[in-house]
Structure 1
Amino acid sequence: MTPPDAPRLTIVVPVKNEAGNIAPLVAEIERACAGLPFEVVYIDDGSTDSTPAALEAARAGRPWLRVLRHGQSAGQSAAVRSGVLAARGAIIATLDGDGQNDPAFIPVLLSALDEAGEGAGLAQGQRRGRKDGRFKMLQSRIANGVRGRILKDSTRDTGCGLKVFRRHVYLRLPYFDALHRFMPALVAREGYSVVHRDVIDRPRLTGTSNYGLFDRLWVGLLDLAGVWWLIRRKRATPRAVEVGTPEADAARDEDVGC
């Protein structure tokens, strides 16, 4: 149950060895979300540089900034899940910790989710003007094309870290490594709609990527097969009501009326 004084929005930021990006990105989030009731949860995924010290410095004077730490690196999906589990908000926003995702688009995605109503589970950012190298962009284009044809998730760019979604919907999804790359298809699998908004990509602020291209490519093919199987095996979820409650009486009356 959400605490009565909890913020509506929790912004989850997974990081690994991003010491130079902590202070500028936290300041950007603070400016972008100043008009919202929000908290920020950083998950340090086993950093071996000065990221812990940078996060400790950023926390000074910011009671809305919380920090979790993995004792050893478990990957981006695990970090996102740790943040969502710790979140106090009913709505979750995620963005990458390298500065390539502009926090100014968080309110845009939040508005898109609100406008779509309770039947929408995810507002997915789709990058324009990507700043990655040509080989990485080619790989991403091929992967997104194959994924789209197989899963039919109507999403051009599932790898974009900018997402806003309902916490309870996320917790219904089957958890596995790389879950964050298949969220549109899995959210739709649960019966929720997905809305999309274009966002502007930026160069990373400092440092280098912590994720290998070839690892992502080959593991992604196995993940794609697994997600396709999960979608094929999905069955309708029955509505369960407790006997002897007003809800059960109303459901019985509806059945009789039919």
Structure 2
Amino acid sequence: MTSDREAIRLSVVVPVKNEAGNIAPLLAEIASACAPLHPFEIVYVDDGSTDSTPAVLAEAGTRHPELRVLRHRESCGQSAAVRTGVLAARGELVATLDGDGQNDPAFIPALAAALVAAGPGAGLAQGQRVGRKDGRRKMIQSRIANGVRGRILKDATRDTGCGLKVFRRAVYLRLPYFDALHRFMPALVAREGFAVVHGDVVDRPRLTGHSNYGLFDRLWVGILDLAGVWWLIRRRRRVPQVIPAGPTNPAKAE
């Protein structure tokens, strides 16, 4: 596993639930977009689908050797599916995007490059959607949620709900896990002492089907999550800066 992890440059994690019609076209787009980042892997996490998603993923594996598939016995939610994928990921960098095709994987290389260019002190490259293709009601809810979140957390991020992100796996594993974690990553990454960089990404209409995950797990639940994240940030006073201890001159120590 150690050699496998060292060999993979990037892991692309895609949570899906009942997205059979979107799998083949999105997989082809991811493989094409990430070709310059070879070697990479694509980790699909099937969050308890009840349609033909498992069969479609099994067939896709015969055409995409870079594909790995994990499955939840029952649906546990988008955050849980993302976490399952990240825990299994073998790349130092992890990209996530929604499985409905609205996030264009063509932006993954640019986000990855921005994160690397920012240096080891940066933990997350957050996509921010332009040209939103969601319905009017969903867009209004999103604006309210993002506006309230931005004023309270001051995370300098216009659109945390965008599923297109690239982050350092090690940084993600330091974050407190809870449902809807993926919607608060900029604030929580900053809480750990890492910088966040941003990149505009073009939103697209969903390829087929309908949404299987609610916005902010519904607004009122999102507000409760927001209060919890605010509390976590308030409780974190200082990020420890760890330096080597002991003799600085090995020869003198002998």
State the partner residue of 1:123: 125
Which of 226, 235, 238 does residue 237 from structure 2 map onto?
235
- The amino acid of 2:246's aligned partner reads D
> Residue 74 of structure 2: SS of its match in structure 1?
coil
Q: What is the deviation of 1:218?
A: 1.3
Query: Please, what TM-score do these two structures have when normalized by structure 2?
Result: 0.93
RMSD: 1.8
State the partner residue of 2:105: 103
CA offsets, 1:39-80, max 9 Å, x none?
A: 000000000000001101110032210000000000000000
- The amino acid of 1:195's aligned partner reads V
State the partner residue of 2:141: 139
For the Cα contact (< 8 Å) 1:23–1:58, is it kept in 2? Answer: yes
- Percent identity, aligned pairs only, is 78
Which of 234, 245, 249 does residue 248 from structure 1 map onto?
245
Alpha-carbon distance between aligned partners in 2 of 1:7 and 1:230, rounded to the nearest angstrom: 33
State the partner residue of 2:182: 180
Which stretch of the first structure deviates more once superposed, 78-87 or 206-215? 206-215
State the partner residue of 2:252: none
Q: What is the deviation of 1:215?
A: 4.2
Rate the CA distance shift 1:240–1:191 in 2: closer, same or farther, 3 A: closer
State the partner residue of 2:172: 170
State the partner residue of 1:78: 80
CA offsets, 1:139-161, max 9 Å, x none?
A: 10011000000000000000000
Which of 208, 217, 220 does residue 218 from structure 1 map onto?
220
Q: What is the deviation of 1:237?
A: 3.8
Say how many residue pairs are matched: 248
- The amino acid of 1:249's aligned partner reads G
Query: Please, what TM-score do these two structures have when normalized by structure 1?
Result: 0.92
Rate the CA distance shift 1:2–1:120 in 2: closer, same or farther, 3 A: farther
Q: What is the deviation of 1:8?
A: 1.1
Rate the CA distance shift 1:215–1:103 in 2: closer, same or farther, 3 A: closer
> Residue 13 of structure 1: SS of its match in structure 2?
strand
For the Cα contact (< 8 Å) 1:2–1:90, is it kept in 2? Answer: no
State the partner residue of 1:3: 3
| Structure 1 residues 8-157: aligned runs within 5 Å | 8-36=9-37, 37-157=39-159
Q: What is the deviation of 1:25?
A: 0.3
Alpha-carbon distance between aligned partners in 2 of 1:130 and 1:8, rounded to the nearest angstrom: 30
Rate the CA distance shift 1:250–1:77 in 2: closer, same or farther, 3 A: farther
Gapped regions of structure 2 (runs ≥ 5): 250-254
Q: What is the deviation of 1:248?
A: 1.9
Alpha-carbon distance between aligned partners in 2 of 1:239 and 1:185, rounded to the nearest angstrom: 19
